[in-house]
Amino acid sequence: MKVTIEHRNDVLVNKLAAVQQFVRTVRGADSLADITAVLSEATREFEFDYFALVQRVSSRLAIGPVRLSDYPAEWVALLSATAYYVHDPVLLACERSVAPFSWDAIPGMIDMSKHQKGYMANAKAAGLDSGYTVPIHVPGSASGLCSFVVTKGRSLPEGSLPAAQYLACFAFEAARRIVASTEGDDDTADRIKIAPRLTQRQLDCVVLAARGKSNWVSGKLLGLSPDTVHKYLESAKRRYGVSSRTELVVRALYDGQLSFTDVIHEIGPETLHDRG
């Protein structure tokens, strides 16, 4: 049992290190093509076969300027030529969830129409057999999603699903910045570029949330009540304009207010606010 636990810890550290390298690279991307290349490589590294990262605008059937994918060319051509994506049930499922979901779970999330069922059957025939989608909701801005997919005969790599959330959010954040800059949207670019500063207590709570600690456990470690921890996290989310803890952690990591060392290494409560 001890060997198994140590092995799992080593795997976790290795995956987080790979995510950290991905973040460094994607932050330096100069174009959407660069992000596509980096995310495609990471997709294989984390044992998926394909990815698709798209931005959605106000209408659920409208796709925004961020459209990155390494899906099979024939499938992409079909979507582009016919707007067939309007029948994609993943788009609707993302409206119903802030948490990532597997495509197998979609029938339990929405009432799928005949066209939506046909869409998924055709996707399977095109080689997109099973998928894991990360919804990305940005209050006051266009939302997005990132799907990681495996081909027929393969199962979703369970050990890579947590990392997939970080890959999705970091790539989407980088893509938003590039689009805002290249389209001359100075207001949006400035809003994204200027990171809000979190207080030390907010950062302490975010670190523990990133480690999967509940409000109750975090409160015990920090000498706070669970309600106070909740309030710190909610205020931090409001500062960043995000709707989930995962997005909060991603933004804080992306902006350098946290490091992956903070997240990976368990440290005592007395040293939480000594992070440099």
Q: Give 76's contacts (C-beta < 8 A, 6+ positions apart).
A: 69
Which residues of the chain does CATH 1.10.10.10 include? 197-274
pLDDT tens sequence across 48-82: 999 999 987 544 445 555 689 999 999 988 887 77
At the topology level, CATH places domain 197-274 in Arc Repressor Mutant, subunit A (1.10.10)
Whole-number Å distance between alpha carbons of 193 and 177: 8
pLDDT at 95: 85
pLDDT at 195: 63
Q: Where are the beta strands (DSSP E) in the chain?
A: 50-56, 63-69, 101-102, 130-136, 143-150
Whole-number Å distance between alpha carbons of 181 and 198: 25
Q: How many CA atoms lie within 13 A of 123 on its CB side?
A: 24
pLDDT at 271: 46
DSSP 52: E
Q: What superfamily would CATH give domain 2-189?
A: Transcription factor LuxR-like, autoinducer-binding domain (3.30.450.80)
Provide block-wise average pLDDT over 10 residues at a time, the chain (276 residues).
56 77 89 94 96 73 69 88 83 89 96 93 95 84 87 94 91 86 56 69 90 91 93 91 83 75 58 48
Q: Are 32 and 13 in contact, with CB atoms under 8 Å apart?
A: no
Rg (CA), the chain: 19
Tokens of 66: 């961020």
pLDDT at 143: 78
Q: Are 101 and 113 in contact, with CB atoms under 8 Å apart?
A: no
pLDDT at 276: 43
Which residues of the chain does CATH 3.30.450.80 include? 2-189
pLDDT at 241: 82
